[in-house]
Amino acid sequence: MFTDALRRDAARIGEHLEDVLKTNPDLPVIEGMRYAVAGGKRLRGFLVMEGARLHDVPEAQAIWPAAAIEAIHAYSLVHDDLPCMDDDDLRRGLPTVHRKWDDGTAVLVGDALQTLGFEMVLDPACHPMAEVRADLALSLGRASGRAGMVLGQALDIAAETADAPLTLEQITELQAGKTGALIVWSAEAGARLAQADLQPLTDYATALGLAFQIADDILDVEGDEATVGKAVGKDADRGKATFVSLLGLDGARRRAAELVEAACDALSPYGDRAQTLNDAAQFVISRDT
């Protein structure tokens, strides 16, 4: 079952992150790191674990990129939540790092989590071949930096002061960077560990990532703050273009469903073995959190 697999992988990833961080002294920055990686669905880490299973990669290897992508994702959330960025007080139903500690600590926590992400894929325990570790780390850099996630964030900020709302094409490009790139990296990681063809998982995750963002935009309109665990309705309040504002609620739902179908089609070379990943694609558009 998908939800069981998600829960089991999330717990395993959480244990690994605790293990890695337990050798550090009890300073606010380290406590903030532990706090920031605790909880959450850990969907990105789950994609790593499942992509690795498809290629018979041992879990003891897959856990490293799975934990790494959760550290990178957590770093981006901690910095995004800062008052000078999205200014959010709540994340996963709990105070954000800068609310629980302070802004300076949150900056350092995010910085150290990014570094930790790279350290984990480069750990010799991640894979015996340095070539594979270097490939994971370089692709992680491309997915998260100025050509990936940060580019998407920069486009997002630029859009706020632009004269006209974004077009569907522009918002799709923005999303491909801001949330898509890490999702694609997550799904590909198992194939990278196995030195296998990345294409089916790339295509799967590209469609999945877009569906995920459309679902997020729908949740921002329809979701309940207590369930979602963070502020909702912010995009509409700001008059920001979203997939919902551009396609309408029904159109957005339809587009998300088409993308999930495309995602599942991409995995046809794997046959029945891809069932959990197919279920995951259904999940991202039906979740309420």
User: Does the footprint of its own copies cover residue 24 (CB under 8 A)?
Assistant: yes
Type of residue at 149: M
Q: Which of 158, 162, 168, 226 binds its own copies (CB under 8 A)?
A: 158
From residue 168, give the alpha-carbon distance in Å to each of 152, 173, 214, 258: 14, 9, 12, 16
DSSP-derived 3-state class of residue 165: coil
Q: Which of 84, 164, 239, 272 binds its own copies (CB under 8 A)?
A: 84
Q: Which of 155, 181, 198, 219 binds its own copies (CB under 8 A)?
A: 155
Percentages of the chain per state (helix, strand, coil), in multiples of 5: 75, 0, 25
User: Does the footprint of its own copies cover residue 229 (CB under 8 A)?
Assistant: no
DSSP-derived 3-state class of residue 91: strand
For its own copies, how many residues bind (rule: CB under 8 A)? Answer: 51
User: Does the footprint of its own copies cover residue 233 (CB under 8 A)?
Assistant: no
Tokens 């070539």 locate to 131
Quick one: which segment of 58-66, 137-145, 251-259, 265-273 binds its own copies (CB under 8 A)? 137-145
User: Does the footprint of its own copies cover residue 141 (CB under 8 A)?
Assistant: yes
| Smaller CB separation from its own copies, 54 or 78 | 78
Burial pattern 129-167, b for ≥16 Cβ within 10 A else e, equals eeebbebbbebbbebbeeebbbbbbebbeebeeeeeebe
User: Does the footprint of its own copies cover residue 246 (CB under 8 A)?
Assistant: no
| Smaller CB separation from its own copies, 89 or 135 | 135
Q: Which of 94, 150, 196, 246 binds its own copies (CB under 8 A)?
A: 150
User: Does the footprint of its own copies cover residue 60 (CB under 8 A)?
Assistant: no
How far, in Å, CA of 271 to CA of 286, rounded? 23
Residue ranges in 250-289 that form contacts with its own copies under rule CB under 8 A: none
Asked whether 89 and 96 are in contact (CB, 8 A), the reply is: yes
Q: What phi and psi values does residue 90 have, to the nearest 5 degrees? A: -130, 135
Q: Which of 238, 255, 131, 283 is nearest to 193 (CA)?
A: 131
How far, in Å, CA of 99 to CA of 83, rounded? 10
Q: Which of 14, 51, 110, 180 binds its own copies (CB under 8 A)?
A: 110
Asked whether 149 and 76 are in contact (CB, 8 A), the reply is: yes
CB of 85 to its own copies, least distance (A): 5
User: Does the footprint of its own copies cover residue 91 (CB under 8 A)?
Assistant: no
CB of 157 to its own copies, least distance (A): 7
Quick one: which segment of 89-97, 131-139, 203-211, 231-239 binds its own copies (CB under 8 A)? 131-139
Chain residues binding its own copies by CB under 8 A are: 21, 24-25, 27-30, 33, 75-76, 79, 82, 84-85, 102-105, 107-108, 110-112, 114-116, 118-119, 122-123, 129-131, 133-135, 137-138, 141-142, 144-147, 150-151, 153-155, 157-158
